[in-house]
Amino acid sequence: MVSTSLASSTIDHKSYSMRVIETEIEGVVIIEPEIFGDSRGYFMESYSERDFHRLVKPIHFVQDNISRSTYGVVRGLHYQREPYAQSKLVRCVVGRVLDVAVDIREESPTFGRHLAVELSAENHRQLFIPKGFAHGFAVLSDEALFEYKCDEFYHPEAECGIAWDDPKIGIDWRLAKEDIILSDKDKAYRGL
């Protein structure tokens, strides 16, 4: 079930460098940084630990990653098993992606549901995905540079995934099936 609508409550306070938009899936939030623009271009804080802790949750990020991909690439759906589960703060700094978080918390009322949000260099949006979610994205532009902060280091022995096309989840990746490019690892994942 696609869940892209946003909850009505937002936090928008002048003393913060960002606006937080709650979604229908508890814990997953969209972050819109404040942009200061003029004829020279723009400036923004891409991350403020102080504001993130106050508006989202206290968290300690330990690793930053970046990937470059071309049109049609789908990466995911990935997660790490406990005790190495990761929370992620993700953004697209070049191009456009459809970013997807799938709730895999078995006790959650939204188990198996997903949220899909377009992240782009133009909209500057970020998505915070807490532990207990599988994550993936599809590249909608010719090229995309995708950055993500993680609160746990990568542990290959804990790496898992879910099939990108699991019919129970029903993600519309906004790509023609013949245009989708997957890694061999992502092709081998099974359903939820």
Q: Which active-site residues does the annotation give?
A: 78, 148
The residue behind tokens 């079930």 is 1
Q: What is the DSSP secondary-structure string of 101-160?
A: EEE--TTSTTTT-EEEEEEETTT--EEEE-SSEEEEEEE-SSEEEEEEEESS---GGGEE
Alpha-carbon gap, residue 102 to 16, rounded angstroms: 29
CB-CB contact of 93 with 147 (8 Å): yes
The structure tokens listed for 9 are 């409550």
Alpha-carbon gap, residue 47 to 68, rounded angstroms: 21
